[in-house]
Amino acid sequence: MPEQQSLPLGFVRGEPVIEKPEDLYIPPDALEVILETFSGPMDLLLYLIRRQKLDIVELPVLTITRQYVEYVEMMKELKLELAADYLVMAAMLAEIKSRLLLPKPPQEDEEEDDPRAELVRRLQEYEAIRRGAEFIEQQPQIGRDSWLSEIKTDAKDYVTVPPPEVTLEDLTLAFSRVLNTIKLQAHHQIKREQLSTRARMSQVLELLQHNHYVSFSRLFKRSEGRAGAVVSFLAILELVKESMIELSQMEPMSDIHIRLKRQHDEFESA
């Protein structure tokens, strides 16, 4: 019968500082704190092995299992939900122990399968991760070791919001959408016109903002050639049709004048 293992009473950086004598009463609260310092069954297992000052590879299954089960028994009493994962490990240890006890069938293979091998491998991997956790902990951290700048700057006052960019594609897409809407409203009849005609209509109207009368001939520029003349002519016709301008001629063959159409003017009332 191996001697009863004593429990650590407290930890400093993961290492036990006080060993509990067998007969010392531990208040349940204190024990909970102790058990909480283990981050899981692998942590507990590693602790037990290290306390024996043994290499993981030499895993003394019997002793370790006994000690392990002792801890788990106490956990079950104190923190039931904590014990579930620990029980899985206890079962694994028990399985390894029983396999070690069973007579081995004659092996064809030279290499003998040590039932401890899998657990040893897992313990080594866990130990490596523990090292990794330590390295990460030691790394200088923002908010713990260093802080970032909180200095004042007036630079944000100079930030300007640039106007949105619109591409030709945005524009044509928008127009297609409008046309689709029109198509849905069947009663709308929109006729396509040459854009140059629409633009010329705008120009004529603008010209009439500054001049009461404009001579018809002023709207035709030789430099624009025949195509330009056609555009101007179509624009004038369209403006007349839409009642935006009116034409007047004092006598046959004389110059035609264009002016903005007034709603109630003497021409209409006459």
Partner 1 sequence: MMNSNQLKQLLEAALFAHPQPLSAEQLRQLLLNGSETSLTAVKKALDELQQDYQERGVQLVQVASGYRFQTRAELGQRLAGLWQEKPPRYSQALLETLALIVYRQPITRGEIEQVRGVSVSSNIMKTLQERGWIKVVGVKEVPGRPQLYATTNEFLDDFNLKTLDELPVIDSPDEKRTAETATNERDFLND
Residues 150-179 that bind partner 1 (CB under 8 A): 150-166, 168, 170-179
For residue 149, count CB atoms less than 10 angstroms from its CB and return exposed for 0-12, middle for 13-18, buried for 19 or more. exposed
DSSP letters, 207-258, are HHHH-SEEEGGGG--GGGHHHHHHHHHHHHHHHHHTTSEEEEESSTTSPEEE
Distance CA 203, CA 215 (A): 14
Binding residue (CB under 8 A) for partner 1 from 77, 85, 95, 118: 85
Rounded to an integer, what distance in angstroms lies between the CA atom of residue 267 and that of residue 86?
105
* Site membership for partner 1, residue 248 (CB under 8 A): no
Residue 17 near partner 1 by CB under 8 A: no
Q: Does 130 bind partner 1 (CB under 8 A)?
A: yes
Q: Which residue has the tokens 């500082």?
A: 17
Tell the smallest beta-carbon distance from residue 81 to partner 1 (Å).
10
- Could you give the dihedral angle defined by the CA atoms of residues 125, 128, 130 and 133, in that order, rounded to the nearest 10 degrees? -120
Question: Given the DSSP bridges, would you call strands 245-249 and 256-260 parallel, antiparallel or unpaired?
Answer: antiparallel
| Residue in 124, 125, 129, 44 with CA at minimum distance from that of residue 87 | 44
Number of residues near partner 1 (by CB under 8 A): 92
Residues, the chain: 270
Helix/strand/coil for 8:
strand
- Shortest gap between Cβ of 165 and partner 1 (angstroms)? 5
Nearest to 246 by CA among 236, 234, 233, 254: 236
| Least Cβ distance, residue 57 to partner 1 (angstroms) | 10
Which residues between 212 and 241 bind partner 1 (CB under 8 A)?
A: none
- Candidates 2, 112, 191, 254: give the one binding partner 1 (CB under 8 A): 191
Which of 191, 252 has the CB closer to partner 1?
A: 191
Q: At closest approach, how far in Å is the CB of 217 from partner 1?
A: 21
Stretch that binds partner 1, among 69-77, 110-118, 132-140, 217-225 (CB under 8 A): 132-140
Q: Which of 2, 3, 111, 188 binds partner 1 (CB under 8 A)?
A: 188
Positions in 198-217 near partner 1 (CB under 8 A): 198-199, 201-203, 205-206, 208-209
CB atoms within 10 A of CB 206: 9
Rounded to whole angstroms, how far apart are CA atoms 116 and 132? 24
When the beta carbons of 107 and 146 are compared against partner 1, the nearer one is: 146
User: Interaction with partner 1 in 63-82: which residues (CB under 8 A)?
Assistant: none
- Smaller CB separation from partner 1, 85 or 255: 85
Q: Note whether 32 binds partner 1 by CB under 8 A.
A: no
Residue 102 or 159: the one with the smaller Cβ distance to partner 1 is 159
Q: Smaller CB distance to partner 1: residue 146 or 269?
A: 146
Range in contact with partner 1 (rule: CB under 8 A) among 40-48, 71-79, 109-117, 216-224: 40-48
